[in-house]
């Protein structure tokens, strides 16, 4: 997605350890116009897949996921990282190792929001080693829901996430694909949409 690539070039910052900081438009401050365009792009790709729910993980997946869900006219569900006192019903849970925070957390969704009748589009901000996406896929599988695909804003293609997800037989659609973050430069591959 051209607008996203341009924005990463303009406002993205490379941190050590292969991490890209995009906190001025994705992960902390959010650009709603760009988010809406990205949500629309995901919706366009998956418009004929019969999606009934968009699923993401808090916090940075929520903005693009909600715009995709609005466009597809379906609800958006975000997996919670901390158990809320109000989540007193049966939960779907999985473990996710966080690439950036380097901790494992239990993520959960109330069982009542996903069923074996659902067709799910998973959306997240980054795809690195694929652990967040894998955790969300596992939650869907526990509910018997079918995952139709994974929509990612920024894929770091030098990490293993895409391979992991494709090896599960699932379609990955990344709006920006980064080949490398070396020598202070962001090098891009052709995005999927």
Q: Give 86 or 101: the residue with its C-beta nearer to ligand 5GP.
A: 101
| Contact footprint for ligand 5GP (CB under 6 A) | 19-22, 27, 60, 98-100, 124-132, 156, 161
Q: How far is the CB of 165 from ligand 5GP (least distance, A)?
A: 9
Q: Strands (DSSP E) along 52-171, which ranges?
A: 53-57, 76-79, 91-97, 104-110, 119-127, 146-156
Q: Give 31 or 47: the residue with its C-beta nearer to ligand 5GP.
A: 31
CA distances to 22, 27, 43, 85, 158 from 184, in Å: 15, 20, 33, 44, 15
Q: How far is the CB of 137 from ligand 5GP (least distance, A)?
A: 11
Q: How far is the CB of 88 from ligand 5GP (least distance, A)?
A: 27
Helix (H) / strand (E) element for 176: namely strand 172-180
Q: Taking a C-beta distance cutoff of 8 angstroms, is the pair 12, 148 a contact?
A: no
Q: Give 25 or 126: the residue with its C-beta nearer to ligand 5GP.
A: 126
**63-66 contacts at long range (C-beta below 8 A, 24 or more positions apart):** 63/26, 63/30, 63/32, 63/35, 64/35, 64/38, 64/39, 64/123, 64/125, 64/151, 64/153, 65/39, 65/123, 65/124, 66/39
Q: Give 77 or 144: the residue with its C-beta nearer to ligand 5GP.
A: 77
Q: Give 77 or 127: the residue with its C-beta nearer to ligand 5GP.
A: 127
Q: How far is the CB of 61 from ligand 5GP (least distance, A)?
A: 6
Q: How far is the CB of 105 from ligand 5GP (least distance, A)?
A: 11
Q: How far is the CB of 96 from ligand 5GP (least distance, A)?
A: 7
Q: Give 72 or 137: the residue with its C-beta nearer to ligand 5GP.
A: 137
């Amino acid at each position: 997605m051209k607008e996203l690539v341009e924005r990463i070039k303009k406002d993205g910052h490379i941190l050590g350890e292969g991490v890209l900081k995009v906190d001025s438009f994705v992960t902390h401050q959010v650009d709603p116009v760009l988010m809406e365009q990205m949500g629309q792009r995901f919706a366009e790709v998956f418009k004929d897949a019969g999606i009934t729910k968009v699923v993401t993980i808090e916090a940075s997946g929520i903005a693009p996921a909600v715009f995709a869900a609005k466009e597809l006219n379906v609800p958006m569900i975000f997996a919670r990282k901390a158990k809320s006192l109000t989540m007193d019903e049966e939960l779907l849970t999985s473990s996710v190792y966080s690439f950036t925070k380097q901790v494992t957390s239990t993520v959960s969704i109330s069982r009542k929001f996903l069923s074996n009748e659902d067709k799910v589009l998973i959306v997240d901000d980054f795809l690195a080693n694929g652990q967040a996406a894998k955790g969300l896929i596992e939650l869907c599988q526990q509910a018997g829901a079918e995952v139709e695909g994974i929509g990612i804003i920024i894929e770091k293609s030098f990490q293993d996430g895409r391979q992991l997800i494709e090896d599960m037989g699932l379609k990955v659609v990344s709006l920006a694909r980064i080949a490398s973050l070396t020598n202070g430069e962001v090098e891009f591959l052709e995005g999927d949409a």
